[in-house]
Structure 1
Amino acid sequence: MKSQGFYEWLMTQRKPEDADEVQEFANAAFFDSEFPKQSQDFNEISKYLEESGGYLMSMQVFDEAWRRFLTSEEGL
């Protein structure tokens, strides 16, 4: 079991200036009150973003964020 959920991890990626695409995603997700914050399911979050994540420039950004999330969990 992961010690930190995806949304919780994503919030650690927020950066107000000179942000990369994942950091911009984190900045936008912070203001999304409907984001599935408790979910740790890739498919559930992906489906939500496809249907409601208009702030996400590309689903590849989510894929990259998920990859970084999984990599960060391996380091624990």
Structure 2
Amino acid sequence: MTQRGHNLHDPIEAFAGEVAKDIMFPKQSEEYHEVADYLEMNVDYLDSMDLFDQLWEKYLENNK
């Protein structure tokens, strides 16, 4: 959520903006598989799970 911005050409900002609008997204989850499963099965706004994996790694680094 901290990556939200107004640059829709930036894939990270675009993804964060879509997550912010998704009322069903498990925003409070700290479990990779719960979030990844949700994204794989329920959304059409993420073109590649690679982007999510990169952001998850950043999340882990920033929240140690």
Choose from 15, 19, 23 the match for 1:33: 23
Runs of 4+ in 1 over 2 A off after TM superposition: none
| Higher RCO by CA contacts (8 Å cutoff, separation 6 or greater) | 1
> How far apart in 1 are the matches of 2:11 and 2:52?
9
Q: Which residue of 2 aligns with 1:49?
A: 39
- Structure 1 unaligned segments of length 5 or more: list them: 1-10
TM-score (normalizing by structure 1): 0.75
Aligned length: 64
Choose from 14, 23, 29 the match for 2:4: 14
After superposition, the Cα gap between the structure-2 partners of 1:19 and 1:71, relative to the gap in structure 1 and judged at 3 Å, is: farther
CA drift of 1:64 comes to 0.8
Contact 2:8/2:14 (8 A) holds in 1? no
RMSD value, Cα: 1.4
TM-score (normalizing by structure 2): 0.87
CA drift of 1:20 comes to 2.6
Tell me, yes or no, if structure 1 residue 72 matches structure 2 residue 44.
no
Question: What is the percent sequence identity of the aligned residues?
Answer: 39
